[in-house]
Structure 1
């Protein structure tokens, strides 16, 4: 740990200290350093020789030490960008990830009405619902989550972004949606098997298990949603779910067994199965 202020470049060089705990060590340091100097990341490369003030260096040391323990950058900063939207985050929900942006892309490509009714199940930070709202101001979007803390967080994000065509409510999946029906049901549900060794690694150690794991080899919530969604889809409505990269075939089988047609799995940016969707007619 540095005892006196360093230059921006010297602090950036400390990214190597994070190599064992992060696959984005350089980006992590850039984000923490930009926070401390209260500038955009581009500033770091414009003024690499600029020395931090003692106060800035002390703050960087504090944030950097937290990252060294494995605490996610999103939790340290209280924010994560998703679909170019700044979202507040906290330990009550999953941290929005780039793979979920692929889910947003897939459903935006669907041929849905300009005034489509949409629900995002397990909305967490509100990431999916808010991303869709940013692209489709005519859609009537509902985001639900069983967690009171998640609902508060999603509502805070909705208010901060000023999206008035979204409703955030507490509901255990479809529990509080009564007989409401939708043109699109979308979700990033828990899909990790309880025995998955990755649960003891990286950022997921700091995220709620209830939002990560599911019974039946990670497929229990996907099965439940697929079965229950049929009662809440308008004729020809779509169900689209994110899932694990090895679950594509299993999820397609679940969808087909539940009576969905035009079932297809789309890949994420790494070429892995990530999103399965189907239409209920």
Structure 2
């Protein structure tokens, strides 16, 4: 028998106040999403049930979720899900939490897509959100996602199956191009680690404490992985193919220079919704 007599509305108000006192902005919004996950209900169902008494089981799960959020853990990490490109992706501690800024990279690929493009290579695929979002839009394309983390690839495979894209995707354990030697692709896309090593300790808690370090640390100056990818990419990009990167704040011009030095053409920079130069893209160099 349940001893709890609090309604959903009671709990949401109490949780919002707790989060506000902990310095969390948007406490009610976060509380609602966590309640949806704790109770296994949709947003509409939660609205309809606001005056219903919450079961003790749901109450216990919800209170644990709120405690975690109050300590700075992102809602997406607690819920183990993140919406990206209008799609729902599973996430885990083994993958980078997809952010809205990264949707700019998907936008670039979609806007630059040529009719003859049929294949996409995603380097450092993580949850698979970039590759799968592109394939969701481009129904005739096939994609391969590479990552050095087998645990990350398991999440990508789950997402691929959930989105019914598993028939057009393949995920391989690989250190960048290691397992695709001798093959070429129409599109190469990557959101590699780009935080300078010394800057990681100054990142927000929700990043440095909850995103995998392997997805953040870009070496001493933040450009280690860009150097490796750019110096090798021309061997894997088909004629007139597209290469596109997400980049960190202040890195776009340097990445553009690196692409120009090895002969890439039509180099462009795209800003995100905040006006930050977020993506650099180019077409295959002359052979």
Distance 1:250 1:24, change over 3 A: farther
Classify the secondary structure of the residue corresponding to 2:178.
coil
1:92-142 deviation line (CA, Å, top 9, x unaligned) = 111111111111011101132355211011000111111111111101211
Which residue of the partner structure matches residue 154 of structure 1?
Answer: 156
Which residue of the partner structure matches residue 257 of structure 2?
Answer: 253
Which residue of the partner structure matches residue 169 of structure 1?
Answer: 172
Which residue of the partner structure matches residue 52 of structure 1?
Answer: 54
Say what the alpha-carbon RMSD is for the aligned residues: 1.9
Classify the secondary structure of the residue corresponding to 1:239.
strand
Compute the displacement of 1:158 (Å). Answer: 1.3
Cα distance in 2 between the residues matched to 1:23 and 1:259: 46
| Alignment partner of 1:194 out of 190, 194, 197 | 197
Task: Between 79-88 and 123-132, report the one with greater CA deviation.
Answer: 79-88
Which residue of the partner structure matches residue 43 of structure 1?
Answer: 45
Compute the displacement of 1:21 (Å). Answer: 5.5
Compute the displacement of 1:4 (Å). Answer: 4.3
**Matched ranges for 1:1-281 at <5 A:** 4-13=4-13, 14-19=15-20, 20=22, 22-163=24-165, 164-196=167-199, 197-199=201-203, 201-281=205-285
Cα distance in 2 between the residues matched to 1:62 and 1:267: 38
Cα distance in 1 between the residues matched to 2:113 and 2:119: 13
Classify the secondary structure of the residue corresponding to 1:29.
helix
Cα distance in 1 between the residues matched to 2:94 and 2:269: 29
If the length of structure 2 is used for normalisation, what is the TM-score? 0.90
1:179-233 deviation line (CA, Å, top 9, x unaligned) = 1111110011101111214436224311211111111421111121111111111
Cα distance in 2 between the residues matched to 1:130 and 1:113: 19
Compute the displacement of 1:5 (Å). Answer: 4.4
Number of residues of Structure 1 aligned to a counterpart in Structure 2: 279
Classify the secondary structure of the residue corresponding to 2:53.
coil
Cα distance in 2 between the residues matched to 1:70 and 1:224: 34
Compute the displacement of 1:28 (Å). Answer: 2.0
Cα distance in 2 between the residues matched to 1:23 and 1:175: 43
Cα distance in 1 between the residues matched to 2:129 and 2:94: 14
1:63-90 deviation line (CA, Å, top 9, x unaligned) = 1112222223223222222222222111
Task: Between 201-210 and 128-137, report the one with greater CA deviation.
Answer: 201-210
- In 1, are the aligned partners of 2:117 and 2:186 still within 8 Å (CA)? no
Gaps of 5+ in 2: none
